[in-house]
Amino acid sequence: MFDPCKVREDFPILKRKINNHPLIYFDNAASSQKPRQVIEAIKNFYENHNANVHRAVHTLSQEASQLYEDAHEEVAKFINANGIEEIIFVRGTTEAINLVAYAWGLRNLKKGDDVIVSLMEHHSNIVPWEILSNINGFNIKYAEVNNDGTLNYEDFESKISSKTKIVCYSHVSNVTGVINDVKRIAKVAHEYGALTLVDGAQSVPHLPVNVKDLDIDFLAFSGHKMLGPTGIGCLYGKRELLEGMAPFHGGGEMMREVSYNPKTKRCSISWNDLPWKFEAGTPNVGGGVGLMEAIKYLKKLGMENVKEHECNMTEYAMKRLSECRKVEVYGPKDTSIKCGIIPFGVDGLSSHDVALFLDNYGIMVRSGFHCAQPLHQIFKLSSSARVSFYIYNIRREIDRFIEVLKEIELI
């Protein structure tokens, strides 16, 4: 195990004070903080290597291109993909899911087809399919979630049939932290010839993910939730699927040739190789460099160790929260099936009231629907507060959090 107290030394922002209190950052499911190694890598790129990629033969362009390709390679190794051809850089999880919806779904889904989506999904894995369904006329079936926030596997699997073309589900719930058995669902989906799209926004940063072992077809995740900068994320896709898909965006880099025919007065276009045919325009090279450095940092800690640290933090937090008289924890209480996310409420107060009170003491938590309104409907909640942990959080911070919660209970 790594020492989280030593890890904290790499994060400049943790030295801040908020309202004259030491910063306690418990909003990691929304976005993680950045270590100085990532910040310096991005700074070094812009100071010494900044240029457009794959556009020129000069030194800076060659250096930038190599760094950008190295970043794809680092991601591929991190999730055990076959190579950079299976790694597409996007702005984040949301764009990755939309890429699948429009580059694959727009051309492959039709009236009479089914798409299966779980009710614990983030809105970014619901809204694109609803929009596309209104265009193509396919049916969306929503898989039920149990009252404790766990996935109802029997209901999910019963909805998969020969009409199912793709199943869309989270690896880890961004509300409850529940870890879903994505391998089990993928196996059933493939038996019916359906594809799988997994939202890995809350899993790739927090536990080991091996796409070959899971045998999933698409995986979407974001850099900013795993120590990297904002504006960079990844779509993993099996090579044979990506090769058969048309691009999502059109522009520079994504095509091999554009040829004008004077007779037809049209241009014929041939696509570039993978992954570049899905990366139109000038890419976020600095973001790719930052993400590469973030992955190197996480690999040095060890993803099994990252997961174990979060499990320890979650178990300790759940134990301490049980001391609070007016606090209710939502979702499953079994920490063995969770990542480091805990949604909760304080009797008589809205989630925003709780978050604002905690903010007065320098404690940052999320409040609201967490972009997962259907799951809150299942819990019969108008909203919830949420704490989420990462590699730099320590028990002392949880103790302080509990002290302030007990003050809130006195209101």
Mean pLDDT of 356-377: 97
Cβ-count burial 389-410 (b if 16+ within 10 Å, e if not):
bbbbbbeebbebbbebbeebee
In the chain the domains, ranked by start, together with CATH numbers, are 4-30+302-408 (3.90.1150.10), 39-299 (3.40.640.10)
Interval 192-218: pLDDT, tens: 999 999 999 999 999 999 999 999 999
How far is Cα 306 from Cα 340, in angstroms, rounded to an integer?
A: 10
* Residue 176 near residue 388, CB atoms below 8 Å: no
* Residue 387 near residue 342, CB atoms below 8 Å: yes
What Å distances lie between residue 223 and 257, 330, 365, CA to CA? 31, 27, 20
φ, ψ at 409 (rounded to 5°): -65, -20
* Residue 189 near residue 357, CB atoms below 8 Å: no
How far is Cα 290 from Cα 282, in angstroms, rounded to an integer?
A: 16
**Confidence at residue 269, expressed as pLDDT on a 0 to 100 scale:** 93
Q: What does the DSSP assignment read for 269-307?
A: EEEPPTTGGG--SS--HHHHHHHHHHHHHHHHH-HHHHH
Name the nearest CA neighbour of 251 among 288, 279, 287, 285: 279
Interval 17-72: pLDDT, tens: 999 999 999 999 999 999 999 999 999 999 999 999 998 999 999 999 999 999 99
How far is Cα 252 from Cα 237, in angstroms, rounded to an integer?
A: 22
Could you give the residue numbers annotated as active site?
A: 371
Interval 304-344: pLDDT, tens: 999 999 999 999 999 999 999 999 999 999 999 999 999 99
**Confidence at residue 391, expressed as pLDDT on a 0 to 100 scale:** 98
The label of the residue with tokens 């801040």 reads: 16
> Is the model's pLDDT at 248 over the cut of 90?
no
How far is Cα 330 from Cα 345, in angstroms, rounded to an integer?
A: 8
**Confidence at residue 353, expressed as pLDDT on a 0 to 100 scale:** 97
